[in-house]
Structure 1
Amino acid sequence: MSLSYYWSKEFIGNRPFLWLLLICNVLGTIYGYIWYGHQISDTVTRGQYWQVIFVPDSPTASLFFSIAILLLLYPPRTALGAMVQQWIEALAVVTSVKYGIWAVAIIFAGQAQGDVLVWQDWMLVVSHTAMAVEALLFVRLFHYRWTALAGAIAWTFLNDTVDYSFGVFPWLPGQLYDDLSAVELFTYLLTLFSGLAAWLSRKYALPKSSM
């Protein structure tokens, strides 16, 4: 059996593997929300309740991906359900690619300016890299169209805007706060890149008529 089999549609689409991936992503999502606990609490303490949904970026991306996997295991049987599935899948791909790359880039940018990496940082590098990779791999099994993708990109831009307009962006290594404008620009550009990656990977995963 060739190594290519392990990232083929046949392998990643089989139910035992989907269940394993779902369990891993659910556990990662729970851990991610715990990780953001102090920042969520701080946002609530300041009375900015409506901003709470925009605080935990990576675990929300993982949540979207978990729901997308669950919908592959149990496909919706109504038109409304199929439409919701498309939106969840598009959000899963755009946000997982975006925040997967973002977290890794920020960790190493902090290190480049003197931050000392600990084992949690390396764990985050591995887990966030996996987020981006798995999202692009699963595009072949997803069903989203350009309308859902446009909505996912718009939502991610809204998240960026709230993050940097109201200061609820993920806490950064201390060395990067004097480069906040550059981090903000990188974040917006990464949303564009992630949307483009989601579109191109979907475009070449299916015949043009499917888009």
Structure 2
Amino acid sequence: MVNWSMLKLLLMNRPFLWLLFLFNLLGSIYGFYWYGNQMADTPWYWNFFVPDSPTSSSFFTLVVLLWLLRRTSPVLEMLSMVTNIKYGIWACGVIITYWSANGTVDAIDLMLMLSHGAMAVEVVLYNFNYKFDRSVLWIGACWLLFNDFVDYVYGIHPWLQDERFTADIQFWTPMLSLAVLVFVALLRRGTARSK
């Protein structure tokens, strides 16, 4: 049985937070490197919307840094939560879809599954320390849904292995955005800005 009080103490322990900051910072840097070729292949004015996952992990990296500095940003916390859950689940879902179709699992995909799964899990684990309430979720809704629009109308979604599942992914991605927004609204139910 997990002792939630002890887990909270560990999660907010400053040396642990510094490690979390460092791992997320390095992961974000690697993520931007991973998207380098796609960003080079994309018109500059869309480049902000290309690296979804490293942008998400950068949000959480900044949130952790603010906690270490004993500061907080409710909007940044909200963006870190909705984007990390969405893109963590999205990446895992896409990878599993191709695994199922190809019948093979490779080491890079396994690394991507673990790292993206961790993105979604870590922001939910830290829900107890977030200060945002549901009133700022409309900003997250605009962010996620506009990003989905840009990704699939202008074709700047993350590169896929091939085009077999593009239509399915195009349908399910905004559905996932909406599901994440509902989930976060339920998770943050009863929170107040004064918390």
CA deviations 1:151-202 (Å, max 9, x no partner) are 012111111110001100001122xx13322101111011111112222222
Q: How far apart, in 2, do the equivalents of 1:116 and 1:7 lie?
A: 40
Letter in 1 for 2:61: S
1:203 matched to 2:189: yes
Aligned partner of 2:54 in structure 1 is: 59
**Contact kept? 1:7, 1:137, Cα under 8 Å:** no
1:194 matched to 2:180: yes
Going from structure 1 to structure 2, the CA distance change for 1:7 and 1:108 (only over 3 Å counts) comes to: farther
Aligned residue pairs, count: 195
**Contact kept? 2:134, 2:188, Cα under 8 Å:** no
The Cα shift of 1:10 comes to 1.8
CA deviations 1:9-62 (Å, max 9, x no partner) are 22211211111100010010011001111101111xxxx211000000100000
CA deviations 1:120-146 (Å, max 9, x no partner) are 100011111111000111111011122
Q: How far apart, in 1, do the equivalents of 2:103 and 2:153 lie?
A: 26
Q: How far apart, in 1, do the equivalents of 2:126 and 2:185 lie?
A: 13
Question: Within 5 Å, which residues of 2 pair with 1:11-90?
Answer: 11-43=10-42, 48-76=43-71, 85-90=73-78
Question: Identical aligned pairs, as a percentage?
Answer: 37
The Cα shift of 1:7 comes to 7.1
| Stretches of structure 2 lacking an aligned partner (at least 5 in a row) | none
Q: TM-score, normalised by structure 2?
A: 0.92
Going from structure 1 to structure 2, the CA distance change for 1:192 and 1:26 (only over 3 Å counts) comes to: same
| Stretches of structure 1 lacking an aligned partner (at least 5 in a row) | 77-81
CA-based RMSD of the aligned residues comes to 2.0
Aligned partner of 1:151 in structure 2 is: 139
Larger fraction in helix: 1
